[in-house]
Amino acid sequence: MKHKKLCVFLACEAVLCILLHSAREILPRAFTAVMAFPFEQIGLGLRALSLSGDTGNIISIVLYTTLCLIPVGILYSLKRVRRLYPEDALLAVLSIVLFAVVYMMINPGLLGPYFGDAAGQSVTKAVLGGMVYSVLIGYAVLRILRLFFHADTGRLQKYLEILLCALNALFVYLAFGAYFSSLMDSFDALRSRNTGNEQSLGMSYLFLVLQYVVNALPYILDVLVVFAALELLDELSADRYSEAAVNASEKLSRLCGMALAVIVISNIGFNLLQLVFIKMLAVMNGSVQIPLISVAFTLAVLLLAQYIKENKQLKDDNDMFI
């Protein structure tokens, strides 16, 4: 049941990513970069409120201050329930970063002298948003590491499930957010470079879509791998020596191998197709993938599956002896 809920969540995330890109097309000034979300929109809202009058200005200052002090408030709450750890200092750093980033989002004119046109400001807003996310993610990673080193086997399995779910959310964002936006940008660039020759760009559009599929396919397959890993964790939690655990581990190893093969073959096939249709293409995107990490992960999963199988065999032998 919980896996079905995760599927629904990931599907909603994929739709939201596509809708956010559509919003960027409809409201380009409000959605200039994914990494700037939601700080850019908060800045625009506070700016509009501030310019509405004296009362609105006071309210916007109060909201701005309250928003930026939220991490400090969380730090104070943590201090009341437990002792603070060194990484908790990042919450105070996060408040300082929020004060600076949101202020520049409220006053984008401050970016003008340094980063010029609208395109430069878009990149800068993405960088500013990335600064906030770097502190936030860094704090989360350090806290997770501390939890890992003070957890028993049951808790470690639970934390691993949470981490795998977060990875799935990241994979969906990359497939339907980052790469989908890149596909739309490629369409715009192709159209702008070939004004007057739109009727001959059909094959180029098709290959841009194929490029998107090749780029997004590894992350979509990673989602399937994660679901298989979650199934394995469920079986290990129930009985690590059961036949179901062995079957789940073998299923995961087969899926990893299949995913790796599909990724490699799709990349080769795309490059060869471009070679065949090279005279009909207005744009080419060659890529060479060296999936060493995927190979290492597949090997690790195969080794894990073998360990689980051997452990069950040892337990069966011991039970027969007893």
Lowest average pLDDT, out of 4-18, 104-118, 218-232, goes to 104-118
Question: What one-letter code names the amino acid at 46?
Answer: L
Q: Which two tokens stand for residue 109?
A: 């004119």
Number of Cβ within 10 Å of residue 207's Cβ equals 21
Q: How far apart are CA 140 and CA 88, in angstroms?
A: 10
DSSP 77-138: HHHHHS---GGGHHHHHHHHHHHHHHHHHH-GGGGHHHH-SHHHHHHHHHHHHHHHHHHHHH
Give the per-residue pLDDT at 124: 81
Q: How far apart are CA 301 and CA 311, in angstroms?
A: 15
Give the per-residue pLDDT at 144: 85
Most confident of 126-135, 145-154, 243-252: 126-135
Number of Cβ within 10 Å of residue 10's Cβ equals 20
- Res 299 pLDDT > 80: no
Cβ neighbours for 234, distance < 8 A, ≥ 6 positions apart = 248
Number of Cβ within 10 Å of residue 322's Cβ equals 5
Q: What is the pTM of this model?
A: 0.76
> Residue 168 is inside which H or E element, if any?
helix 153-173
Q: Which residue has the tokens 């928003």?
A: 67
Give how far the C-alpha of residue 44 lies from the chain's centroid of Cα atoms, to the nearest Å. 25
Give the per-residue pLDDT at 96: 94
Give the per-residue pLDDT at 277: 83
For the chain, domain boundaries = 32-150
pLDDT in tens, 41-90: 898 899 999 888 889 899 999 999 999 999 999 999 999 998 889 999 99
Task: Please tell me the number of Cα atoms within 13 Å of 25 on its side-chain side.
Answer: 13
- Res 254 pLDDT > 80: yes
User: Which has more pLDDT, 274 or 111?
Assistant: 274
Most confident of 147-151, 299-303, 306-310: 147-151
Most confident of 68-72, 127-131, 141-145: 68-72
Mean of per-residue pLDDT scores for the chain: 82
> Residue 69 is inside which H or E element, if any?
none
- Is the CB of residue 43 less than 8 Å from the CB of residue 64? no
Give the per-residue pLDDT at 68: 94
Number of Cβ within 10 Å of residue 225's Cβ equals 24
Give the per-residue pLDDT at 67: 94
Cβ neighbours for 309, distance < 8 A, ≥ 6 positions apart = 246, 249, 250
Burial call 155-181: b when 16+ CB within 10 Å, e when fewer: eeeeeebeebbebbeebbbbbbbbbbb
The residue among 180, 178, 208, 179 whose CA lies nearest residue 193 is 208
